[in-house]
Chains A and B, each alone.
Chain A
Amino acid sequence: MSISPKLEIKDLNVSIEDKEILKGVNLEVNGGEIHAIMGPNGTGKSTLAQALMGHPRYEVTGGSVLLDGEDLLEMEVDERARKGLFLAMQYPSEISGVTNSDFLRSAVNAKQPEGKEVSIMKFMKQLDKKMAQLGMDESFANRYLNEGFSGGEKKRNEILQLMMLEPRIAILDEIDSGLDIDALKVVADGVNSMRNPNTGFLIITHYQRLLNYIKPDRVHVVMQGRIVKSGGPELAERLEAEGYDWVKEELGIEDETVESKA
Chain B
Amino acid sequence: MIDTEQLFDRQAVTQLSQSQQEPDWLLQRRLNALEQAGRLNLPKLEKTRIDRWNFTNFEPVRQEKAVASTDEMPEDIRRFISAEDEDSVFVQKNSSPVFRRLAESLESKGVIFTDLATAAREHEELVKKYFMTDAIRSDEHKLAALHAALFSGGLFLYVPKNVSVDVPFQVLFWAGGNGVGTFPHLLVVAETGSEFNVVANFVSDRESDAVINGAVEVFVGDNARVRIASLHTQGEGTTEVAYRRTVTGRDADLEWIVGDLNFGRTISDNTVHMKGTGGNARIKSITVGSGELRSNITSTVRHWGARTESDITARGVMKDQAQSILNGITKIEKGAKQANGVQAEKVLMLSREARGDANPILLIDENDVQAGHAASVGRIDPIQMFYLMSRGLSRREAERLIIFGFVGPVLDTIPFESLRERISGIIERKLG
Contact = CB atoms under 8 A, between A and B. Distances in A.
A18 to B, nearest CB: 18
A84 B42 CA distance: 60
Contacts of B387: 89, 92-93, 95
Interface stretch (A30-38, A60-68, A104-112, A130-138): A104-112
B408 interface: yes
B388 to A, nearest CB: 7
A38 B119 CA distance: 80
Interface in A150-171: 161, 165
Nearest to B404: A97
Contacts of A82: 392
B348 to A, nearest CB: 11
Interface in A78-93: 78, 80-82, 86-87, 89, 92-93
A76 B401 contact: no
Interface string B180-220: 00000000000000000000000000000000000000000
Contacts of B395: 76, 78
Interface string B213-241: 00000000000000000000000000000
Interface stretch (A50-58, A174-182, A221-229, A244-252): A50-58
Given A93-B387, A97-B407, A110 B402 contact: no
Residue among A92, A93, A102 with most chain B CB within 10 A: A93
Interface residues of A, number: 28
A77 B389 contact: yes
A111 B392 contact: yes
B392 A54 contact: no
Interface stretch (B12-20, B66-74, B260-268, B376-384): B376-384
B133 interface: no
A78 B394 contact: yes
Interface class of chain B by DSSP: helix
Interface string A93-136: 10111100011001100110000000000000000000000000
B409 interface: yes
Contact of B381 (A53, A55, A81, A93): A93
A76 B398 CA distance: 13
A260 B393 CA distance: 38
Nearest to A84: B392
A93 B384 contact: yes
A95 B392 contact: no
A86 B397 CA distance: 18
B386 A97 contact: no
Determine which residue in A87, A96, A102 has the highest number of CB atoms from chain B within 10 A of its CB, and name it: A96
B130 interface: no
Interface string B291-309: 0000000000000000000
B384 A95 contact: yes
Interface residues on B, range: 20 to 34
A97 B348 CA distance: 14
A106 B401 contact: yes
A144 interface: yes
A77 B390 contact: yes
B415 interface: no
Contacts of A103: 388, 391, 401
B393 A106 contact: yes
Given A93-B381, A93-B383, A106-B401, A87 B388 contact: no
A162 to B, nearest CB: 10
Given A55-B386, A77-B386, A110 B404 contact: no
A102 B402 CA distance: 12
B406 to A, nearest CB: 6
Nearest to A98: B405
Contacts of B383: 56, 93
Contacts of B394: 78, 110
Give the 8 A-B CB pairs with smallest separation, nearest first: A97-B405, A97-B408, A110-B392, A81-B392, A107-B391, A93-B387, A98-B405, A77-B389
28 contacts: A53-B386, A54-B386, A54-B390, A76-B389, A77-B389, A77-B390, A78-B389, A78-B390, A81-B390, A81-B392, A81-B393, A86-B391, A93-B381, A93-B383, A93-B384, A93-B388, A95-B405, A96-B405, A96-B408, A97-B405, A97-B409, A103-B388, A103-B401, A106-B401, A107-B391, A107-B393, A110-B392, A111-B392
